[in-house]
Structure 1
Amino acid sequence: MGQKGGRDAFVSQGFDTWNKKDAFRTHMGGVDSFHNKAKEQCEFLMREKQAINVVLRRQTEAEDHKYKARLCVSIIVVRLLLKTGLPFRGHDESVNSENRGLYIEVLKAIRETKLVQCFAQEVLLSIREEIGQNVFALLVDESSDVSKKEQMAIVLRYVDSLGFVKERFIGLVHVKDTSSLTLKNAINEVFTSNNLSFSQQRSMMVGELETGRGLNQETTLVRAGETRWGSHFNTLTSLMKLFADVIVVLDFVKEEGGSLANLQQASGILA
């Protein structure tokens, strides 16, 4: 190696003149010497995050995750076809075929569903980034679907960096009931999954729900709707305004209601 990497005294002939510091400097060489380059690469290798085994392990874990996801979906489709006794293969399984058989077509349908979920996650991520550490208002609406299962829609209202007010739908959550504790826990789960904090949330003023104006406006009892919480507010407002008249009507129904069911219902409401 000549003077590029020092002398061979350190590797074959031995070295005993430790008082000669120049020998060490000659062995080390300049910045680009073999010694310094080997030392630098050794330091790189000893760094845990840059170690070869760590990098390989990280790549292996990612591949294992993808492999397990594909395997699980394949097993689900196989179980479904076996349970229903349906054929796996189709008459034409080529790439250009419109029907490649149940096994491949079901896998394609699940894959498209996964893609939609990925798009949804990207949309939610962009909403979170747009809000940042700023405040937002929470809009929650509860309704029941066709199967009479309770569900809660969650919308965020906030002001973007350009000063525009935006309302963005972030999720539809199924809940077992509409109690305050259940709804709070559901909202908390949505906030946690989207990296949002309750400290950023600001409540809307009750005055934003108008009940009508005018001196000659007629006030009547309003039936509470199933899909809008604002209708419950209107119902309670009209009930407070007509409370005395409602008591008079219930007293009359209790005494002259006719059917036993009406009498009992009016008596229970009065109590």
Structure 2
Amino acid sequence: MQCYHDLGNSLQHLDKIIEKQNSEQVAKNRLQLQVSIDAAKWCAFQAVAFRGHDESLDSNNRGNFIELIKHVSSYNEKVAAVVLDNAPRNASYTSPTIQKEILSIWSIKIQKHIREEISDSKFSILVDEAQDRSKREQMAIVLRFVDKQGYIRERFFDIVHVHETNSLTLKKEICDVLSRHNLSVQNIRGQGYDGASNMRGEWNGLQALFIQECPYAYYIHCFAHRLQLTLVATSQEVEEEFENKMIQLPWSITTGLMCFWQRLILKYLK
């Protein structure tokens, strides 16, 4: 008789039980992933490092990303039940790879929003390159435009690793970024760079290459860089400046060797 009642009770059917378990697991997975997304969003918004020097289980400080998840889980039992030690070993959603994937998705969404802001308007490009801590050349691209409300906006749009800093390489990388987002070079109405020869050169500089393709892309020397040049020139009159140069000399030599080493590796990889 009990079997007959169980058979008539749809809630006891095997497919219903499995479906319920699956729904519960999906909810746990979504909560676990949402916590990682929120932690990555907070770290990025606060401009703090994600990873720590020692992320082992017995470390006192496992980095901002993991420590933030630990802090949130201490106030929420549902979160604590699905993250870190209670998460599946093969799906913890805290690895550096996952962190980079989350940031990549956020960057795509932000770039899409900026692209919608620009629409079909004309825009200017602000570009500069510098070495990061690993001695790799990184080129930052900022777009300046007037939005639909008439306000001037400057948006950090992308950062690109460049193997060479000559004008042809930089132009190619910039054009590739613009092309990926359907931004036409013909709509450029201004260029802003520092005063380096590869950027401001009248014949072969980056600004000259863009003017050849778009005559209205007028070049303006970055005002902040002009101020920097003034400060550097002024500091030359200080006697202690010579000592600073001697201290910086080994660093400059090491930096140059690192650039040469990267080019050598790329040559043999090809």
| Alignment TM class, shorter chain as reference | 0.3 to 0.5
TM-score when scaled to structure 2? 0.41
